[in-house]
Amino acid sequence: DAGVIQSPRHEVTEMGQEVTLRCKPISGHNSLFWYRQTMMRGLELLIYFNNNVPIDDSGMPEDRFSAKMPNASFSTLKIQPSEPRDSAVYFCASSLADAPESSYEQYFGPGTRLTVT
């Protein structure tokens, strides 16, 4: 199993540019999560999808952030325009939520380290 795949692994861009992060969840998983991690704020949930439908996007910082999941095997997180304070590691995670009582632990991708100058 390839695990959760994210691309790019590193992204350096200038303030004002559009940034698109990509994620391929584990095949068969029906929930997908986008997180942001910084030293100051720790791990923050931005948005999560269940069966390709966005369920909770209350963690999305502002309108500059948007996420899509057009099918079960692909999701994107877009930042437009990017700002230096967006610099962080962005993780995608997936899980199999087959029943509420199951553990359905989340499997994390390797992350995208974003630097906005």
Partner 1 sequence: GQNIDQPTEMTATEGAIVQINCTYQTSGFNGLFWYQQHAGEAPTFLSYNVLDGLEEKGRFSSFLSRSKGYSYLLLKELQMKDSASYLCAVRDSNYQLIWGAGTKLIIKP
Q: Say whether residue 45 binds partner 1 (CB under 8 A).
A: yes
**Chain centroid offset of residue 85 CA:** 17
Residues from 73 through 112 that contact partner 1 (CB under 8 A): 91, 97, 100-101, 103, 105-111
* Residue number, 54 or 110, with CB nearest to partner 1: 110
CA–CA gap between residue 38 and residue 75 (Å, rounded): 22
Which structure tokens are listed for 6?
Answer: 């994210």
Using CA atoms, how far apart are residues 29 and 35, in angstroms rounded to an integer? Answer: 17
E strand or H helix at 23, and its extent?
strand 19-24
CA distances from 37 to 27, 53, 114 (A): 25, 23, 11
Residue 56 in contact with partner 1, rule: CB under 8 A: yes
Nearer to partner 1, 56 or 83 (CB): 56
Question: What x/- string results for residues 9 through 38 when contact with partner 1 is judged by CB under 8 A?
Answer: ------------------------------
Which residues make up the interface to partner 1 (CB under 8 A)?
Answer: 42-45, 56, 91, 97, 100-101, 103, 105-111
